[in-house]
Structure 1
Amino acid sequence: MLEQAKNQKLKERWAFGSLLLNLTLSILKFVFALITGSLALMAEAIHSFSDLIASIISLISVKLAAKKTKEFPYGLYKVENIAAILIAIFLFFAAYEIIREAFFSEAERSIKHTELAIGVMFFAMVATFVYSRLEIKAAKRLNSPALLADAHHIWADFLSSVIVIVGLIGTYFGYNLDKYAAVIVALFIFHSGWDIFMRGLKVLLDVSLDKEEIEEIKKIIYKHPAVVDIKHIRGRVAGSFKFLDIELLLHNYGLRETHRIVDELEREIRETIPNIDSVFIHYEPVRQEGLRIAFLTCKNKKIKDFSTAKNIVVVDVSKNLDIHEGQPIPVEPDEKEIGNIITKIGVDIVVSRHHPMNFDVRWNLARAGVMVWETEKDDYKEALKEIINSWKKFNK
């Protein structure tokens, strides 16, 4: 949660910085457009003003995206994607304005102080280039679509600044080169806008996570020995955050052990995949072929009985004699409590010093089909070898 709050503050700072940059450029270009009489500079002032509006939308969306209410319990994360679509529309408008200014403007560019106009546009070009590059890195690091869209918009402003500078230099030397550059840049701007628009639209329609992320999640899950199979993985993106719905088939462990396994899987997924908001894991128990053996032990795993055991150690032995040992299940040294747990965790054999003294416990174990294996061994691993050897002989 602390990391999420820190990222949220960083997003807001970058969005606010973008707003200040566009406000400064809008005022600067407008003032010098009036001084120099440059129509191109005035067009750029209008373009920067559209950037300012986009930055305001971005800042508001980043702030709203972190809010959770009773009406919106999953958060307003998608506000970021709505903002990204709106910014993409501004990019389309910017591309149109550049083409219109380059080819369809009938006004003649009569500039009084070309050097001043070039100086202002050079400052705008450097400022937008530096800020857009830094904001793109921050957007990728923070996984924010709104910041990424805003950075692309500022990059479009940089490109249009280059066009205006080329046009101003051409005017200064008596050449007109900005028309041809305008077409190329406008196409790049349109492409960026289309990419942002489609990514935002896909998220609003609950597009799945990237295939690479899904495969990474599968690797995390399948490497756990308790997992038999994955029934499905569904993931969606909302703003910067991801939601996962996973259904697994697990070996039939006890309730505590299964919860521990699921918690462990969730922790590993969160550590590997960035910006996970929630992971919902539904699991179904699957009875594997082989033996499930419960050992009644003390805390140092020495064999005890139903009235003295402090732990239950569950061991699964596959038909290929692969052995999987679960985490010890802590219990109170009470025959009835231990008997109840043993009947609920689906074991074939319970290994103890001797049978339980309580008749009800013995009867319930028999009804559950659980064999009580008495042993004189102290070490549960020695008792395990004894059972496996007997099982091999039985199978032969």
Structure 2
Amino acid sequence: MNQKQSKIKLAKARKRALISIALNMFLALGKGVSGVLSGSAALIGDAIHSTTDVFASTAVFVGIWVAGREHPSFPYGLYKAETVAALVTSVAVILAGYEIGRQAVFGVPTMPDVRIALPVAAISLVIALGFGILQLRAGKRLDSPALKADARDYLADSLSTAVVLISLLLVPLGYNIDKIAAGIVALFVLYAGIQLFIDAVKDLLDAAIDRETEWKIIQYVENYPRISKVKKFFSRNAGGRYLVDIDVILHTPSHKIADLVADRLEEELLVEFPGLVLARIRPHYAPGEFMKRVTPVKSPDGEMSLHFASAPWFLVETVTTEGREVKKREFVENRYKDAEKKKGLLVGRWLLKLKPDEVMTNARDSVAIELLKNSGVELVQPSSPTSTKI
């Protein structure tokens, strides 16, 4: 993900956070008024939960807004402002759970008026559950931990409201479990708050990215041309995004090629992995015993082709780094030789997967050759510009 894409996602996340603030205010007001009028301790506790959500949603909005800012004192970005917002959200949720539990234990038991409380609880449940699901999807799509935290808070709110609704439905049957329902609501809220708190603290302490994503990045890097292996891999989360610092081994003594490969790889990683906002590649030279050379040919054991992307076959040779002694020869048919569109691009990408170190050819105007050259593959001319012998 590049900086522009990240800012677009943050702008969308801010809009979602504003909607969340307005909706929480509506829910808190509705539950609070109906809870007081009906005498339902559980609904009042649920209203307290929604009230803290108003402040938590405001913190989410502020965190997302700050995350989109740039400042020279923060060269790695302010993405963790979202994590701070998620941390504030978790504390608010935990406090809400405590207050609801306290009311459930020490509050005076009353028989709630279901005519007032029941419709409000039902409507609140539908709103909280529906918006929570939508907010969670948006949080995943926009890679926003603050929106995900807000969504989980809504889902916890819907669970607690469901318990309140069940307790109210039992009142006409002669069962008054209002205080028990309030206690269950408190447990739901406390659990959600503690989970959010743990996740936020991990992010603030620079926890590494998940193993699956790490392995995918390492595989991508080690399959890149001129790179033999990943020497060191460091990563850290940053507000739903992540940064990587990778040391790689290249078998080329050329600093120019090493820098070219590193620069290209950094750019491609940002495109290939959407959550990545910063990639730093540090190349190290380690001379390899062998290298791979690719040559376009007219046929197996035939002459060199004067064309590149349209060459029917490619000779792939494994040669010694010192002396260029051929150790292995393999002829590979050009699967894209008859492509009508983007032939050069297709051939270039296909050859890059073979990880060649150098290409021997007289051709110079092929898109495939430019792609290989820009990826750090060296171009080698035959001894004679018009020679077709290999």
In the superposition, the TM-score normalised over structure 2's length comes to 0.74
Q: Given residue 227 of structure 2, which amino acid in structure 1 is its aligned partner?
A: V
Shift in CA distance, 82/225, structure 1 to aligned 2, threshold 3 Å: same
1:34-183 paired onto structure 2 within 5 Å: 34-102=36-104, 104-111=105-112, 113-179=113-179
Identity %: 29
CA distance in 2, matches of 1:328, 1:83: 56
Q: Tell me the distance in 2 between the aligned counterparts of 1:244 and 1:43.
A: 44
- Secondary structure (helix, strand or coil) at the match of 1:18 reads helix
Structure 2 CA distance for partners of 1:170 and 1:260, relative to 1, 3 Å: same
CA–CA distance in structure 2, aligned partners of residues 46 and 178 of structure 1: 15
SS at match of 2:73: coil
Q: Give runs of ≥4 in structure 1 deviating > 6 Å.
A: none
Question: Against the structure 1 CA distance between its residues 115 and 279, is the aligned structure 2 distance closer, same or farther, given a 3 Å change threshold?
Answer: same
* Mapped contact 1:163–1:178 kept (Cα < 8 A): no
| Structure 2 spans left out of the alignment, 5+ residues | 296-303, 307-316, 330-354, 362-375
Give how far 1:71 is off: 1.8
CA distance in 1, matches of 2:116, 2:360: 78
Q: d(CA) in 1 for partners of 2:213 and 2:133?
A: 26
The separation in 2 between residues aligned to 1:178 and 1:36, in whole angstroms, is 12
Distance 1:35 1:290, change over 3 A: closer
Deviation at 1:92, TM superposition (A): 1.9
- Could you tell me how far 1:186 is from its partner in structure 2? 4.0
- For 2:168 and 2:4, locate their aligned partners in 1 and report how far apart those are by CA, in whole Å: 50
The alignment partner of 1:164 has SS state of helix
1:278 CA displacement:
0.9
1:1-396 mapped onto 2 (5 Å cutoff): 1-102=3-104, 104-111=105-112, 113-179=113-179, 185-252=185-252, 254-290=254-290, 317-318=319-320, 320-321=327-328, 324-326=356-358, 375-376=383-384, 378-379=386-387, 382=389, 385=390
CA positional deviation for 1:268:
3.4
Question: Whole-Å Cα distance in 2 between the matches of residues 46 and 204 of structure 1?
Answer: 28
Secondary structure at 2:356 match in 1: strand
Distance 1:41 1:216 in 2: 47
The runs of 5 or more residues in structure 1 that have no matched partner are 303-314, 330-344, 353-374, 386-396
Letter in 2 for 1:66: G
Cα distance in 2 for residues equivalent to 1:34 and 1:199 = 35
Residues 86 and 377 (structure 1), Cα distance of their counterparts in 2 relative to 1, 3 Å cut: closer
2-structure distance, mates of 1:182, 1:30: 14
Q: Looking at both structures, which has the greater relative contact order when contacts are Cα pairs under 8 Å and sequence separation is at least 6?
A: 2
| Residue identity in the other structure for 1:54 | A
Partners of 1:227 and 1:92 lie apart in 2 by: 49
**Superposed CA offset, 1:54-98 (max 9, x none):** 111111111011112122222221121122122112222233333
Partner deviation per Cα, 1:313-371 (whole Å, 9 max, x = no partner): xx983363479344799xxxxxxxxxxxxxxx9x9xx877xxxxxxxxxxxxxxxxxxx
Q: In the aligned structure 1, how far is the partner of 2:21 from the partner of 2:360?
A: 57
Q: Sort the Cα spacing of 1:178 and 1:291 in 2 relative to 1 into closer, same or farther, 3 A.
A: closer
SS in 2 for 1:324: coil
Write the distance in 2 (CA, Å) between the matches of 1:52 and 1:244: 35
Secondary structure, in 3 states, of the residue corresponding to 1:97?
Answer: helix
The superposition leaves residues 122-143 of structure 1 with CA deviations (integer Å, 9 ceiling, x where unpaired) of: 1111100000011111111111
Q: Distance in 2 between matches of 1:186 and 1:49?
A: 14
1:232-281: CA deviations, max 9, x gaps?
01011111221110101101154443333223322332233222111110
String of CA shifts for 1:90-131, please: whole Å, max 9, x gaps.
2222333333333x13313254x4212111111111100000
TM-score, normalised by the number of residues in structure 1: 0.73
Q: Identify the range of structure 1 (212-221 vs 176-185) with the bigger mean alpha-carbon deviation.
A: 176-185
Q: Distance in 2 between matches of 1:291 and 1:143?
A: 41
Larger Rg computed on CA atoms: 1
Contact 1:208 1:235 (C-alpha < 8 Å) held by counterparts: yes
Check whether the contact 1:145–1:240 (CA below 8 A) recurs between aligned residues.
Answer: yes
Q: Which amino acid aligns with 1:141?
A: R
Aligned length: 325
Q: Deviations over 1:132-167 (max 9, x none)?
A: 011111111111111111111111211221222222
Tell me how large the CA RMSD over aligned residues is: 3.3
Relative to structure 1, the CA distance from residue 278 to residue 31 in structure 2 (aligned partners, 3 Å threshold; closer, same or farther) is same
Residues 257 and 327 of structure 1 are in contact (CA less than 8 Å); yes or no, is this contact kept in structure 2?
Answer: no
Q: Is the 8 A contact 1:240 1:275 kept in 2?
A: yes
CA-CA distance at 1:182 after TM superposition: 5.1
Residues of 2 paired with 1:237 and 1:218: CA distance?
Answer: 17
Q: Deviations over 1:277-301 (max 9, x none)?
A: 11110001222225799x9xxxx99
State the Cα distance separating 1:46 from its structure 2 match.
2.1
Whole-angstrom distance in 1 between the partners of 2:163 and 2:26: 20
Matched residue SS, 2:71: coil
